[in-house]
Structure 1
Amino acid sequence: MKAKRFLAGTLVWAALLSAAAPQPAVKVWQQDLVLPTYLLGPPEPNPIFFFGRASQGAEGRVYPYPLYDRLTYRKAAKTYKIVYLENEYVRVGILPELGGRLFEGIDKTNNYNFIYRQHVIKPALIGLIGAWISGGIEWNIPHHHRATTVLPVQYRIESNPDGSQTVWVGELEIRHRMRWAVGYTLHPGSAHLEARIRILNRTPLVQTMLCWANVAVHANENYQVIFPPRTQWGAHHHKREFTQWPIARGRYGGADFSAGVDVSWYKNHVASNSIFAWNYEDDFLAGYDHGKQAGIISVADHHIVPGKKLWTWGTGPRGRMWDKILTDEDGPYIELMVGAYSDNQPDYSWLQPYETKSFPMYWYPLRAIGGVKNANLDAAVNLEVSQGRARLGFYTPAPHPAATVWLKAANKILLRETVAIGPSQPYRREIQLPAGLDEHSLRASLSVGSRELIAYSPVRLEPQPMPKPVEPPPPPQQIKTIEELYLTGLRIEQFHHPSLDADPYWEEALRRDPADVRVNTALAINYLKKARFGEAERLLRRALERATDKYTTPKDGEPLYYLGLALKAQGRLDEAYRHCYLATWSMAWRAAGYYCLAEIAAGRGHLEQALDFTERSLEANALNVRALSLKAALLRRRGYPQQALAVLREAARRTDPLDVRLMAERWLVEKTSAARQQLLGAFSEHPATALETAAEYLNAGLWADGMAVLSELAATKAKVSPLVYYYLGYFAQKLGQSGKAAQYYALAAQASPEYVFPFQHEMIEVLESAIQHDPRDARAPYYLGNLLYDWQPEQAVRWWEKSVALDDSFAIVHRNLGIARARAAKGSDLMRAIAHLEKAVSLPQKYALHFAELDALYEAAGVAPERRLTMLERHHEVVAQRDDALAREITLKLVLGKCDEAIGLMKGRRFSAWEGGSLNVADDWIEAHLLRGHRRLAAGRYREALEDYQTALAVPDNLPVERRFGGSREAEVNYWIGVAWEALGERARARELWEKAVAGAVQRLPPPADPSLTQSYYRARALEKLGRQPEARAIYEELVRSGSQALQQTSAEIDFFASFGEQQSQRSRLAAAHYLKGLGHLGLEQKDQARAEFAEALRFSPEHLGARTELARLNQ
């Protein structure tokens, strides 16, 4: 019922936005859709802060979202609301509850799913915050595999005067506080689906974003990806490497195409891979199933939408594993992604303060023409020449009863035919060509009357040199110029690099030239984003000192504007007013500068002046939805409700039809039940929108409006975030209502603190006011610490310490202090960190994550494995709630020789694999059977040892292993299987296994301390068994060199192009390096050196199984 009520509200809102439309030729309706669903467990209640995790090549920040990483594998029927659009030719379905994903697209003329249609919802750990599903069209804004890809978004239905229908989906993205909206539109009489995308930077700060439509299609051996014919090269992520297109040669993306492979065909990709078309001339991308003679066309203006990407899991073992993880019976898929303002991933573009980017993308089904060589919104054409014959095909997404097909050679007409053509009647013909004709002289075209719909001539390609791959930036000290330092830092910041920080590059630039305007401004903007307003002010004043030298008016008002923001955030409004006004002298900063002035004037009660400032702001940026909202509020407060409503209608039409601030203003103007219902529906379904609406009223000093809106939410008696009550208390204080303020602050302090993750700068002032009002409130400092930790970790720790001093019974704040101190651990701080986490796990409310994190600290501190395992076993029921915690218990059981118990835990549990993740319980399975096999081998139980060794390779499906580029332990296991066969007297079988061990090759050269190098040791052992001692000795010597090189590094090498995971810890890196050296010395029969290296490995990592095993053998 709630969804129906909310829809009713959206339809009323739609009626305000458009004139009465005729009966639409496109049908739109919503209905229940029951789908088998693998249920998600509850999200992680603990805040997940950023510690360098990479996701899709950019920062894998989770906070302020919760982490959705608990997959239950419980399958149940679940009902979803699906919204359908349908016309004569296609039907599409949208699932607002699953991120606004376009769930299905069916070509009604042949019943072909031109977009991958799932028949099960089966989440996997691929998204930015965990859970993700495949299929359909996923919207990745402003990051790839965005945070809310499987969470509900807002939606509404809109009827258009031309008979078309639109379903809008969108949301407030709370990490950057931007909004996006996508309007899916079907038009009468056409098979093309239009998507109108709007991306809005509603913040006063410059932001960056990427936008990719992730289109999945059903894949099989007949499926081909079609880049435009002028495409000669494809790029990998980061543009770090390139390959020829469509015939790849050499190594690319970890795959060997040296024999020459047509990578446009799905069947030719054994391993996973990405290829971005290096094409900036053409508007289309296509996929075609040659078996079903059907496919999909994507069309968009390449000046705005240049990105064209193929992604596949591949047809090999890893691909089959992910097929099973992501679907039950719908089979493999590939992704045909389309990128706006972006041609790669990660590749981010800039959004200036209050900027809106708006653009369309289009798709339509394709059938029965054998492929495509050119396409636009009107038509697609295919032309293939072989053995003196031309095969010609045309498809149009709209019907044309009398179109003309042309095929010319130079000026000679080879074919002219009038045909009826349309979505249900494509055109295809084959003709004989004159002898000796050059195919490049051909031109195929389709016209209607005097208008040419599409044309194509075979492209004569002049070979292009391979584009220059991107290389990692050198350290700051090695960069020659200040400009290059500035630009290097800017790119790091722009691309949200997960392991590099822009600050060292900018700081080096300032060391050379402390007053550089660009660098001071860039670093100040970074500080503003982190709410470090005083530091930003210092840098901006330094920039302006140079920019205004000799009483000069600066050419660019950027530092003036941002100084105004820094001062406004510190409450110094007179100074802020002056600097923002000066910024408006620069055209580039008129819109943002005047909007800042409008907020200051509104807060002072100068409504007429504030209205004038909003008008001036809108003259420079008519799509600033914040200015439009404020204008409506000012008109309402000055007694012009109809003008206010007109502004709101126009704002929704031109900017964001789902903007909740516009809904709030509409309710404040009308005070109707429909407006209230729509607003509260948005607030309850998307709680962050209530906080953002409150912040906007706070920024403009409209305390009464903010209180009126939030009071309606509080009055519903629904579960309300304590942050709403803190805002209400703050507004009440500002309005002089101290009694109400006390009531609201008390409600905030008493509310549940779980899943309360503040994300707004404005909450700093709000929470500090609450603390001043009630110094006994332990929750407000906890929330303030959460808000500040990723920006100001030292300040966050101080607030958490205050919270603990007031109430030491809250486990999560102890945990926060523990991980914060661990990240800054120096000597005894690590033990203080451990003490906090020990306190956390001792409290009644227990969290599995706390045990995983505590054990990680124990490991870092060198705590004995016996003590660690005892703790985990004592709390096994809680530990078993999370994969990472239980995996630690399993590993420690192996370290302490409890192989049977470890195997029992692995058999009884399905573990989840993160794409590119490091959690690899399959290795524990292998290790457990190897260790047990070694024992049985030593005891003379050769047959049982053989069974264990063979079982080691038979990793069950409940232990998925995410190995992207090598890392297999087959060489090691095959070596030991051979040893067992040898012990059983089966020398021929043993030799066969040793040959297999030697034949195993690593797909990609690993870094010196990579654990997969240990497989080289077992290849060498197998070589010795085969009598090839010189080859084995060379490998042993290389292991010693590799380990020594790793030890010479002062810290872990940063993989500039890392797409997933976190950097390897220093202790584990050093342990791995010593272990490699030990293996090399062992192979060279230098046992004393080997013993010393294994002992060093155990000093850094007492649970290192390999070092333990080899040292035990040496000491026997």
Structure 2
Amino acid sequence: HIQYPMRYAAAHGFAEIQTWPLEASGKDLSIIKNQTDGPVSLFVHGSREDFMGIWNPHSNTGTAHFARYNELPAKKIWSWGVDADGLDWRDALSDDNSAYAEVQGGLFRNQETYSFLQPRQHIGFSEYWMPVREIGGISRANLAGAVNLERKNDSLLISLNVNQKFFGATLRLLDGNKELFSERRELQPEKTWTKAMRLPDSNRKYTFELKNRDGAVVLKQTENEYAWMDDSQIKLGPQANYVIPPEKFRTEDDWLQTGDTQELNGDKLAAMATYKKALQRFPTSFALHKASGRILCSLQRFEEARDLLAAAQARNTTDGELSYYLGMALEGVGKDSDALDAYEAAARMPQYRASAALRIAQWNARQGNFREAENFVAVSLAAAPDDLRALEMQVALDGALGDAQAEKKQAELLLRRFPLSAFLREEAGVPDLAHLAADPSRVLNIAAQYARLGLFAKAVNVLARDYPGVPSDQHEPGVRPPQENPLVVYLLGYCHEKLGESGASDYARASKLSTLYVFPSTSEERAALEAALRFNDKDVTAHSLLGTWFFARAKSADALREWQAASELHARIPALDASLGWALLHEKRDTASALTAFENGIATDPRNELNYSGATATMAILGKSAAQRVKVLERFPDLTTMPVPLVYELALNRAEAGDFSGAISLFQNRFFGREEGGLNVRQVWIEVRLMEMLALAKSGRCGEALAEAKTIGQPMEGLPFTQNGLEPFLNSPRTDYLLAQAYDSCGEKTESLTRFKKVAADTELSNLSLAADSAKRLDSYDRNKWTELLESGLAKAEEQSSRGNSKAWWTYLAASLRMSLGQNELGQTALRDVFLLPDTRMAHHLARLALVGNLNLP
């Protein structure tokens, strides 16, 4: 039972408000067994209560959550529900088919709402999770305990768990101000207190009260009374939320909000593209220049950022944020003196004084002006006394000034405040070698901090160590120790060069190390890779890693230059050809070269899933046949260990090629896991069976086809996933549509028309193309009505395709709607665009069918 103190609940995105616990159809959603329509994902609305909880009546146990409303106001419940898919998730997520629900708290009213937390800012809140047992439910919970008030005929059963010992506690039951019961006793967390009270008037509400020995009320609850908003303040149904319009109708603020949201979601490349488009529409916008420059700095695209930020600063020289990012951009392009001017301007503004002063300190330290650097660190600490990075720099500068004793002592003192600082442990002379060995990025981070201060000898000490091995459960799979990480060794060579020494041996050693799970990200790592290539421009490892650095910042031309250089040197580097193919396909739209790269990747890196998915997507764009795609997929070294997404792809492609027995064989002797938002094996299974049935019908083998139609949903021996959970896919409009086609081909006109009518009646956006094609087969077909529906659906689908999730699916829907409207050329172009997006909901398969006109799909 979901025991949240609310009468109303909000949907995701605050799109709609509904009653709770009874929803529109009368189902009580607080009881999980009633959630028969799928997952329940709702947010508390209209309640200012501090607690929520969930209760299992079978075990008489539960969990309560408490957080003060003024600190953490939002509450959410998530449950998988008890429809076929929800029950399947129980099997996937547990060993005993048990369910779970998520009791979530948050700062904002829903999961779609975010805010920026700037460097050196923090938000503090406390939340408490409390076990509850043997009290029958949760009427109220706080730090003192949890109480349940339950009516039984004309009696009130009071049950209490406490979270701490109470000596001399007072328990009372009140009727208004009139005391009906009072008891003084000791309470302990391990014991449940219960009391059944006969009520003088069952129509009145009664209040339970718990006081501590000092007489302070620590827990109080009146039956069914909570801090709820008045009903008059609640608007049920769809909410009037502002929706950002399509691009051609957006205002400057719309563009800024879109980019801002993308940044908040961590999608920096999308934000960069958004701001770039916006500047084309509003080229004089100060806010867009600033936002675009900021995101470009974040992506270390300093050359482009410099011009945008300089233009903006010319309009407002008092903007500290603008000056700070301009300093970063100028420093990034080697204009140190100009960068210093910008940082000094930023440091004059309170909000950026701490950050800018640190940048100035680093610049001075790199010039050898350690005393001046220390002065600026002091300025930074005056503005932000608890900033760890500034304190770490202060310690390192003590050592640079020759006071090793002060350096060590201060590091030891600070470690008491910041025990997780690997840099301070280094400065104190007690590095945690096992901790550093588990993740080379920790070593790289410490070395980079030293390098930014010009302390290259200290960086060398960290980078040159022979770190111990650590157990496999203490590091990420496939990650090698730091001394076997090429970035660590390249940076070591770079630091040796900065000390006037040779980095040749380091560069040579790094070039022979594996690049698996190695992802360069910092300016120091880029500088080290470029230094290695100046030493040896035929270093394929450095070329490959530098290409990765560029591609992560959408600098595709630079990435391709580096990857192609490595490829031309006949490098056999894992993921190189996959990366090259991906860039050629997505950035250059050079499908022929992309396919060559993917096929080379299959030869050199045969277990890399991207080589196969990339090759099949490219082949679909090029119009290659299903049989040709099957041959590529079958190059996987061992089909029994093929990743599940590729199994689905091979099964669907075999079915498209007419090899149904080959497709069905792939489902045997294999475990199909579930992934949230991923493809369900049952959907692929039903699709293959439907395609086989329709192929039989169209080839005149109607007896077999109609027999298949009747048994398509029956369990099959050796295929556990067919035992349950097929209903959502058997009862889908797509299944009805394909069955209708089969019955039509076999002369079963009555059954065919019945199913076409059923499909035509479902005009939900995902099914609209099928509905329109079905309607054409009916005498009641109204062209104008369906044209209007299709055009409206197209606008909605294209808007959805420009947003976040399932872009391939929405792009496919938009393309199919265009085809239904007779816009064949535009539709086919859009169908090919589907293959440039990550596959969702079988969109690639459906787009392939639509492109070749198979199954008479619209």
Matched, 1:1054 2:800: yes
Q: Residue 671 of structure 2 aligns to a residue in which SS?
A: coil
Give the distance between the partners of 1:983 and 1:508, measured in 2 at CA: 52
Give the distance between the partners of 1:427 and 1:950, measured in 2 at CA: 60
Aligned pairs for 1:44-83 within 5 A: none
Give the distance between the partners of 1:502 and 1:979, measured in 2 at CA: 47
CA separation of 1:815 and 1:393: change in aligned 2, threshold 3 A: same
Q: Which residue of 2 aligns with 1:750?
A: 512
Q: Which residue of 2 aligns with 1:129?
A: none
Amino acid corresponding to residue 558 of structure 2 in structure 1: Q
Q: Is contact 2:490-2:506 (8 Å) kept?
A: yes
Q: Which residue of 2 aligns with 1:237?
A: 12
Aligned pairs for 1:163-182 within 5 A: none
Matched, 1:831 2:592: yes
Give the distance between the partners of 1:978 and 1:533, measured in 2 at CA: 59
Q: Which residue of 2 aligns with 1:1073?
A: 817
Give the distance between the partners of 2:758 and 2:541, measured in 1 at CA: 60
Give CA-to-partner distance per residue, 1:206-225, whole Å, 9 cap, x none: xxxxxxxxxxxxxxxxxx22
Give CA-to-partner distance per residue, 1:724-769, whole Å, 9 cap, x none: 001101110111111xx11111111111122222122332222111
Matched, 1:724 2:493: no
Q: Residue 519 of structure 2 aligns to a residue in which SS?
A: coil
Q: 1:319 aligns with which of 83, 86, 94?
A: 86
Q: 1:490 aligns with which of 250, 253, 260?
A: 260
Give the distance between the partners of 2:829 and 2:457, measured in 1 at CA: 69
Q: Residue 138 of structure 2 aligns to a residue in which SS?
A: coil
CA separation of 1:522 and 1:895: change in aligned 2, threshold 3 A: same
Amino acid corresponding to residue 727 of structure 1 in structure 2: L
Q: 1:614 aligns with which of 374, 377, 387?
A: 377
Matched, 1:633 2:396: yes
Matched, 1:930 2:690: yes
Amino acid corresponding to residue 262 of structure 2 in structure 1: I
1:263 is displaced (CA, Å) by: 2.1
Give the distance between the partners of 2:815 and 2:358, measured in 1 at CA: 56
Give the distance between the partners of 2:372 and 2:424, measured in 1 at CA: 22
Gaps of 5+ in 2: 470-479, 835-845
1:451 is displaced (CA, Å) by: 2.5
Q: Which residue of 1 aligns with 2:308?
A: 539
Aligned pairs for 1:878-1027 within 5 A: 881-917=642-678, 919=679, 922-934=682-694, 936=696, 944-954=704-714, 970=732, 973=735, 1006-1007=764-765, 1010=766, 1014=770
Q: Residue 96 of structure 2 aligns to a residue in which SS?
A: coil
Amino acid corresponding to residue 455 of structure 2 in structure 1: L
Q: Which residue of 1 aligns with 2:30?
A: 264
Give the distance between the partners of 1:939 and 1:896, measured in 2 at CA: 15
Q: Which residue of 2 aligns with 1:773?
A: 535
Give CA-to-partner distance per residue, 1:113-144, whole Å, 9 cap, x none: xxxxxxxxxxxxxxxxxxxxxxxxxxxxxxxx
Q: Is contact 2:166-2:212 (8 Å) kept?
A: no
* Further displaced range: 609-618 or 459-468: 459-468
1:1108 is displaced (CA, Å) by: 4.7
Q: 1:418 aligns with which of 184, 193, 196?
A: 184
CA separation of 1:561 and 1:725: change in aligned 2, threshold 3 A: same
Give the distance between the partners of 2:856 and 2:246, measured in 1 at CA: 39
Q: Which residue of 1 aligns with 2:245?
A: 474
CA separation of 1:958 and 1:579: change in aligned 2, threshold 3 A: farther
Q: 1:661 aligns with which of 403, 420, 423?
A: 423
Aligned pairs for 1:39-188 within 5 A: none
1:575 is displaced (CA, Å) by: 2.6
1:1013 is displaced (CA, Å) by: 5.0
Give CA-to-partner distance per residue, 1:442-493, whole Å, 9 cap, x none: 463433323221223423752032384544312455345x455434432332
Give the distance between the partners of 1:528 and 1:1095, measured in 2 at CA: 35
1:786 is displaced (CA, Å) by: 0.8
Q: Which residue of 2 aligns with 1:84?
A: none
Amino acid corresponding to residue 234 of structure 1 in structure 2: A
Q: Which residue of 1 aligns with 2:841?
A: none
Give the distance between the partners of 1:538 and 1:1098, measured in 2 at CA: 37
Give CA-to-partner distance per residue, 1:672-712, whole Å, 9 cap, x none: xxx34x2x211222222112222222222221111111111
Q: Is contact 2:296-2:304 (8 Å) kept?
A: yes
Amino acid corresponding to residue 314 of structure 2 in structure 1: E
Q: Which residue of 2 aligns with 1:576?
A: 339
Amino acid corresponding to residue 928 of structure 1 in structure 2: V
Aligned pairs for 1:429-828 within 5 A: 429-435=195-201, 438-439=204-205, 442=207, 444-457=209-222, 458-459=225-226, 461=228, 462-463=230-231, 464-466=233-235, 468=239, 470-475=241-246, 477-480=248-251, 482-483=252-253, 485-496=255-266, 501=271, 503-504=273-274, 508=278, 512=282, 514=284, 516=286, 518-548=287-317, 554=318, 556-640=319-403, 643-645=406-408, 647-649=410-412, 651-655=414-418, 657-667=419-429, 675-676=430-431, 678=432, 680-713=433-466, 720-738=484-502, 741-791=503-553, 792-810=555-573, 812-826=575-589
Amino acid corresponding to residue 68 of structure 2 in structure 1: D
Q: Residue 712 of structure 2 aligns to a residue in which SS?
A: helix
CA separation of 1:877 and 1:1040: change in aligned 2, threshold 3 A: farther
Aligned residues: 825
CA separation of 1:649 and 1:1000: change in aligned 2, threshold 3 A: farther
Q: Which residue of 2 aligns with 1:176?
A: none
Give CA-to-partner distance per residue, 1:782-812, whole Å, 9 cap, x none: 1111122131223222222222233354463
Q: Which residue of 1 aligns with 2:849?
A: 1104
CA separation of 1:1012 and 1:333: change in aligned 2, threshold 3 A: farther
Amino acid corresponding to residue 288 of structure 2 in structure 1: V
Q: Is contact 2:49-2:69 (8 Å) kept?
A: yes
Give the distance between the partners of 1:237 and 1:817, measured in 2 at CA: 39
1:892 is displaced (CA, Å) by: 2.4
Q: Is contact 1:936-1:944 (8 Å) kept?
A: yes
Q: Is contact 1:280-1:303 (8 Å) kept?
A: no
Q: Which structure is higher in strand share?
A: 1
Give the distance between the partners of 1:521 and 1:349, measured in 2 at CA: 18
Amino acid corresponding to residue 249 of structure 2 in structure 1: Q
Amino acid corresponding to residue 711 of structure 1 in structure 2: A
Aligned Cα RMSD in Å? 4.2
Report the TM-score when normalising by structure 2. 0.85
1:980 is displaced (CA, Å) by: 9.2
Give CA-to-partner distance per residue, 1:1043-1096, whole Å, 9 cap, x none: 5666x76994335775x4443485x45763366569xxxxxxxxxx99xx9999
Q: Is contact 2:289-2:309 (8 Å) kept?
A: yes
CA separation of 1:285 and 1:1069: change in aligned 2, threshold 3 A: closer
Q: Is contact 2:161-2:189 (8 Å) kept?
A: yes
Q: Residue 52 of structure 2 aligns to a residue in which SS?
A: strand
1:402 is displaced (CA, Å) by: 1.8
Amino acid corresponding to residue 770 of structure 2 in structure 1: T
CA separation of 1:783 and 1:1097: change in aligned 2, threshold 3 A: closer
What is the percent sequence identity of the aligned residues? 25
Q: Is contact 2:694-2:741 (8 Å) kept?
A: no
Q: Residue 662 of structure 1 aligns to a residue in which SS?
A: helix
Give the distance between the partners of 1:514 and 1:982, measured in 2 at CA: 61
Give the distance between the partners of 2:833 and 2:305, measured in 1 at CA: 44
Give the distance between the partners of 2:267 and 2:607, measured in 1 at CA: 34
Give the distance between the partners of 2:531 and 2:213, measured in 1 at CA: 69
Q: Residue 577 of structure 1 aligns to a residue in which SS?
A: helix
Q: Is contact 2:511-2:541 (8 Å) kept?
A: yes
Q: Which structure is higher in helix share?
A: 2
Give the distance between the partners of 1:419 and 1:999, measured in 2 at CA: 68
Q: Is contact 2:135-2:161 (8 Å) kept?
A: yes
Amino acid corresponding to residue 453 of structure 1 in structure 2: V
Q: Residue 242 of structure 1 aligns to a residue in which SS?
A: strand
Give the distance between the partners of 2:403 and 2:366, measured in 1 at CA: 19
Matched, 1:378 2:149: no
Q: Which residue of 1 aligns with 2:602?
A: 841
